[in-house]
Amino acid sequence: MKVMYRLMALLMILMLLAGMTSAFAADDGYPSSYTYNYDYWGDVRESPDAYRVDQVIHSSALGLEVAMKRPQSLFVQGQDLYVCDTGNNRILHLTRGGDGFHLVRIIDTIQGAEPATFNTPSDVFVDEEGNIYICDTNNQRVVMVDKDLNFLKAFTKPTDSTFDQSLNFLPNKLVVDTSGRVFCLATNVNKGLVKFESDTTFTGYVGANKVVYNFAEYIWKEFFTTKAQRAQQESFVPTEYCNVYMDEDSFIYATNISFEEGDLIWDKAMPIRRLNGIGNDILIKNDRYPPIGDLYWIEGSVEQGPSKLIDITVLENDIYVAADRTRGRIFGYDSQGIMLWAFGSLGNTNNTFNSIISIEHMGRDLIVLDQTEADITVFTPTEYGNLIYDASADYLRGDYDGSAEKWEEVLRFNANYNLAFIGIGRSLMRQEKFKEAMDYFEMAHDRDNYGRAFRQYRKIWVEENIGWMALVLAVVMIVPLIIRTIKRTRMEVEIYERSKVGK
Amino acid sequence: MNAAKLESKPMSPRKEKWNQFTDSMKYAFHVIFHPFDGFWDLIHEKRGTLAAATTWLALFLITRVLELMYTNFQFINAPLQYINVFEQMASLLFPFLIMCLANWSLTTLFDGKGRFKDIYMAMCYALVPYTLIHLPLIFVSNIIAFDEAAFYDVLLTVSTAWCVLLVFIGLMQVHDYGPGKTIIFVIATILGTLIIIFLILVFLSLLSDALSYFVSLYREIAFRLY
């Protein structure tokens, strides 16, 4: 008996150990990136990591004599990475090859321009030919040099009367389109992006934020305050953008971090915008929640405020990725504005950030710049992350069945992934498996597609069952008729018989 | 001869009661289509019974719960993982009762003819269209698609409008008020409801404060003694 007990105890210990090892086995040694997504109800659903740290680039690893100091911006062109080392008044040119990033050159002087050095350069753009545009902020110019750093052009303070001449021209961020037009965000300019033609002439502003104020505030200011009071109050001014990115189709993605918190959830703040040529926002938002980053702003009972999307980058198939300064988080959205994943947090480990300032992508890899840590973190997608990209790419290409297979794989990783349910449902619908498609759409709470599948399903159902339905209808109508006739006949017979008795 | 036989046979009291109950249940259909006569006779001709009114109220609550559970997801946003059936029912039942109470408390001071029982009965009967329309709509929601919702929405709106109208006429007939006075008292009832809820909350919080005082007193003494 005692032996039995011992054996059982041993067995139980073994089982416990087995349980523990399997728990450890799920963790493959990589630190988690705290990846999650929101379900239909807006609840946080933890998910497998879509991205993992590939490497962290420190100044020392690049062999820099002077360490990076408050770098402000990144730019990727092909395999080349440009870093605006703002605090040291220089641009670092890195390239990716072999096992990582190597320093190619340090750009701190240019030939043929006065001044030849930079003063707090805060953004850089490199076009297809290798010409470099630099936002030389405190020199009040955007300077364009060729790839051997020979001066080509300078875009300086507009002399136009629409530009307030009492202000300094402080270019902060810039993008350049394929025909060489420069769109530049300048500090203290709230009329939108400053637009220069390729011959350096200023041609106006693009995409100004609309001035928003509420009616009560207007009444209050108009009728209940004196002029002196009004002068002291904040005036209604449009907000400035925070960062810009130009996608493959020359649409400008802009982010915005100054807004009223309450405007976010009703999508009046629109922190991410996609501006077309005349400056209108054409970002597609087909999800239940607008792309605003985090939906909940309280963490561990500390109110940290909304996500401040400090920079944005656009990958293939219009998938855009924005970086949040508040919580050191990175959000991915697809072309329909549906959140793919969110990950990251504040901290001092490799996969966390102190203060994100810029985000770029090289292929599917994400490159994130942290200004206080002064390092660059390179993320590569995991198998799960790649599957999501592949599945959406296949779908956009028209390979619906291939995309459904990949979505099935995604569901194996994460059973809470709504996009996968919708993707599979669409494929099933094309195969005319409407009932199954409906089940998938219902799991994703996709009303439109469910309705579409349901109509087909109902049509087929009615066609198949019209026979007995007609029969039931006929029975329902004819049976009471027969019963009534029988009753009437009986009554007539009775009346007849009574009348006979009466006689 | 047969008829005489039937009359002479006395009905058992239980059977009589049952008949009265079913009659007053059926009377709801008269009330919702002829509200002016209906509500008047409901109270003054004793055509309604408390049992029937309560049954209709229970049916209303059950309809509401069934609606949350079985309406197709295309037409309702019900996070079923969070819904508590009893909470849902209580959140309808208690405001309903408090509103009846508020209405009675106010109208009884201003020439209202209705007793609490009358108000309760009239209000229960006024909710009948909700039950009658929403119950079949639960089924309908499962055989129509999202883009055919217009028909569904219209019926939902009709049911609400119908109930509101019945509440209004019901109060008018129960208290023998004119329309203007009824509107005033509807508004007053809503305010009264809020005041009652406020008082309940104040009472509960004071009660919990008082209780916690005695609990801490007990603890203090217990600590001192040991």
Residue spans of the domains in chain B: they are 15-225
Q: According to CATH, what is the number of the domain A36-208+238-399?
A: 2.120.10.30
Where residue A328 falls (left for φ over 0; alpha for ψ -120 to 50; beta otherwise) is left
pLDDT at A270: 85
First to last CA, chain A: 102
Provide the whole-model pTM: 0.80
Structure tokens at A455: 């109509």
> Is A454 touching B (CB cutoff 8 A)?
yes
Structure tokens at B88: 């849902």
Q: Examine the pLDDT at A20 and tell me if it is beyond 50.
A: no
Structure tokens at A157: 């303070």
Q: B146–A450: do the CB atoms touch at under 8 Å?
A: yes
**pLDDT confidence of A11, banded at 50, 70, 90?**
low
> Phi/psi of residue A113, each to 5°?
-135, 155
Decide: A458 and B145 in contact? Cβ < 8 Å: yes
Q: Examine the pLDDT at A488 and tell me if it is beyond 90.
A: yes
Long-range contacts of A108-116 (CB under 8 A, 24+ apart): A109/A149, A110/A143, A110/A145, A110/A149, A110/A150, A110/A151, A111/A145, A111/A149, A111/A150, A111/A151, A112/A150, A112/A151, A113/A143, A113/A145, A113/A151, A113/A154, A115/A139
pLDDT at A233: 63
Q: Which residue is it, tokens 């993320």?
A: A379
The percent of residues in chain B predicted with pLDDT above 90, rounded, is 75
In one-letter notation, the amino acid at residue A270 is M
Q: A451–B74: do the CB atoms touch at under 8 Å?
A: yes
**pLDDT confidence of A483, banded at 50, 70, 90?**
very high
Q: Comparing C-alpha atoms, which of A104, A105, A106, A67 is closest to residue A87? A: A67
DSSP bridge pairs for A379: A53, A366
Comparing alpha-carbon positions, the chain B residue that sits nearest to A452 is B145
pLDDT at A42: 87
Q: B73–A442: do the CB atoms touch at under 8 Å?
A: yes
How many CB atoms within 10 Å of residue A352? 19
For chain A, give the mean pLDDT.
86
Q: Which residue is it, tokens 């970002």?
A: A283
Q: Examine the pLDDT at A167 and tell me if it is beyond 90.
A: no
Q: Comparing C-alpha atoms, which of A286, A288, A287, A291 is closest to residue A255? A: A291
**pLDDT confidence of A26, banded at 50, 70, 90?**
very low
Q: A447–B146: do the CB atoms touch at under 8 Å?
A: yes
How would DSSP label each residue in B92-143?
HHHHHHHHHHHHHHHHTTTT----HHHHHHHHHHHTHHHHHHHHHHHHHHTT
Q: How many A/B residue pairs have CB atoms within 8 Å?
A: 23
The percent of residues in chain B predicted with pLDDT above 70, rounded, is 96
pLDDT at A305: 85
Structure tokens at A322: 């924005």
The radius of gyration of chain A from alpha carbons, rounded to an integer in Å, stands at 32
CA gap A435, A422 in Å, rounded: 14
Residue spans of the domains in chain A: they are 36-208+238-399
pLDDT at A21: 42
Who contacts A51 (Cβ-Cβ below 8 Å, separation ≥6)? A33, A35, A330, A341, A343, A366, A379, A380, A381, A382, A385
Decide: A350 and A341 in contact? Cβ < 8 Å: no
pLDDT at A30: 73
In a mutational test of the B interface, the residue from A445, A454, A459 whose CB has the highest number of chain B CBs within 10 Å is A454
Comparing alpha-carbon positions, the chain A residue that sits nearest to B145 is A451
Q: Which residue is it, tokens 């300064």?
A: A325
Give contacts of A458 with chain B, Cβ < 8 Å. 143, 145
State whether ipTM is beyond 0.85. Answer: no
Who contacts A494 (Cβ-Cβ below 8 Å, separation ≥6)? none
Lowest mean pLDDT, pick from A20-24, A249-253, B221-225: A20-24
pLDDT at A264: 80
Lowest mean pLDDT, pick from A70-84, A144-158, A202-216, B150-164: A202-216
Exposure letters B61-93 (e unless 16+ CB within 10 A, then b):
bebbeebbeebbbbbeeeeeeeeeeeebbeeeb
Comparing alpha-carbon positions, the chain B residue that sits nearest to A40 is B79
Mean pLDDT over A88-100 rounds to 89
Comparing alpha-carbon positions, the chain B residue that sits nearest to A462 is B143
pLDDT at A28: 63
Q: Examine the pLDDT at B6 and tell me if it is beyond 60.
A: no
pLDDT at A234: 58
CA within 13 Å, CB half, A222? 7
Mean pLDDT over A381-410 rounds to 92
Structure confidence by residue, pLDDT tens digits, A276-325? 888 888 999 988 889 998 988 887 777 788 899 999 999 988 999 999 99
pLDDT at A19: 47
CA gap A358, A347 in Å, rounded: 17
Structure tokens at A38: 């929101």
CA gap B18, B15 in Å, rounded: 5
Give contacts of A454 with chain B, Cβ < 8 Å. 145-146
Structure tokens at A41: 């109800």
Structure confidence by residue, pLDDT tens digits, A130-161? 899 999 999 999 999 998 999 999 999 888 88
Q: B143–A458: do the CB atoms touch at under 8 Å?
A: yes
Give contacts of B73 with chain A, Cβ < 8 Å. 442, 445, 447, 450
Q: A41–B79: do the CB atoms touch at under 8 Å?
A: yes
Comparing alpha-carbon positions, the chain B residue that sits nearest to A445 is B73
CA gap B102, B83 in Å, rounded: 29
pLDDT at A23: 40
Beta-strand pair A202-206/A365-370: unpaired
CA gap B152, B158 in Å, rounded: 10
Q: B146–A451: do the CB atoms touch at under 8 Å?
A: yes
Q: Comparing C-alpha atoms, which of A356, A404, A362 is closest to residue A381? A: A362
